[in-house]
Amino acid sequence: MPDQVKSPVDQSVTLAGVRMKNPVVVASGTFGFGREYGEFYNLEELGGICCKGLTPARREGNPPPRIAETPMGILNSVGLQNPGVDAFIAQELPELKKHDLAIIANISGNTPEEYGEMCEKLSQAGVDMIEVNISCPNVKAGGLAYGTRPELAAEVTQIAKRHATVPVMVKLSPNVTDITEIARAVEGAGADALSLINTLRGMRIDINTRRPVLHMNTGGLSGPAVLPVAVRMVWEVANAVSIPILGMGGVAKGEDAAQLMMAGACAVAVGTACFADPYAPLKVRDELAEIACRLGHERVSDLTGTVQPWGN
């Protein structure tokens, strides 16, 4: 396990008013509720955790196979398996709250009202932020449908904001023609922050059986393969809105995180990289601090938005 770098660089960041000791959080759906990777290291090493996506009631998720490996990526079709928001509040949140890190609950609903109810419960239960998932590619109802139509995305955001007493961050889908259109609609509806990108829809076929590897036929692509798409979309969105961005998509090392921050992200999430290396988020954190230091910054947060695009 890497020791916390005693870097002269200030690693703290603030995301929509939530202060984190470093800019590295773990991405929803890749880290459960922290119990498993908490056996490898103290969760307080992280800036925050985006918890596994919650729904109003328990969901068992999609039939297997749910995982397929692709060139520098993986496809998943887990389908929001989760114990339900009440069980999370009763059984998982008290454990997480023993640790000093930003707790970000991730929610998916079938109707705008369901998002509202969950926001109310989770705010009262004391999470630090709510990440509103309008971009899950693996469920039929809600999910991605809200994330691809600006007026629906705005409606869900409005209701979430009305019921939440903690900052609301809306997670955007890359499966759209113009992500800035959705980003602006969500900002206009009052979102405090944006997180992007969710997974890209993809497919893999076993040529011997002619069957898709995933039982659901298609799934969401993550991993290093999607990093350039994430960097591009964070850059586009950062130029289109003024609310802060949590950048994610294929981050496996400090340089990847630095790219997302230069493109405009205030903080970054590490997801798929944890599967190969449970310590990936800590390595990203330390490498990012080294990069900030090497580039002459006093604060890691000074990297945000510093890309110098070519004038074309």
The residues that touch another protein, with contacts defined as CB under 8 A, are: 29-32, 35-37, 39-40, 52, 60-69, 72-74, 76, 78, 81, 213, 223-224, 272, 274-279
Q: Least CB distance from residue 298 to another protein, whole Å?
A: 33
Residue with smaller CB distance to another protein, 140 or 294:
140
- The question of whether 274 is a catalytic residue gets the answer no
CA 62 to centroid of chain Cα atoms: 21
- Please say whether the beta carbons of 80 and 139 come within 8 A: yes
Given 51, 136, 266, 274, which residue is catalytic?
A: 136
- Please say whether the beta carbons of 87 and 56 come within 8 A: no
State which amino acid sits at residue 258: A
Helix 254-263 crosses helix 280-294 at what angle (to 10 degrees)? 60
Q: Least CB distance from residue 282 to another protein, whole Å?
A: 12
The torsion angles phi and psi of 8, rounded to 5 degrees, stand at -75, -5
Q: Least CB distance from residue 30 to another protein, whole Å?
A: 6
Residue with smaller CB distance to another protein, 163 or 204:
204
Residue with smaller CB distance to another protein, 16 or 49:
49
Q: Least CB distance from residue 251 to another protein, whole Å?
A: 13
Measured from the Cβ of residue 60, the count of other Cβ atoms closer than 10 Å reads 9
Residue with smaller CB distance to another protein, 37 or 146:
37
Query: What are the structure tokens assigned to 187, written together?
Result: 């900002």
- Please say whether the beta carbons of 164 and 193 come within 8 A: no
Residues 111, 37: Cα–Cα separation, whole Å: 32
Answer whether the bond into residue 197 is a cis peptide, omega within 30°.
yes
Catalytically active residues are 136
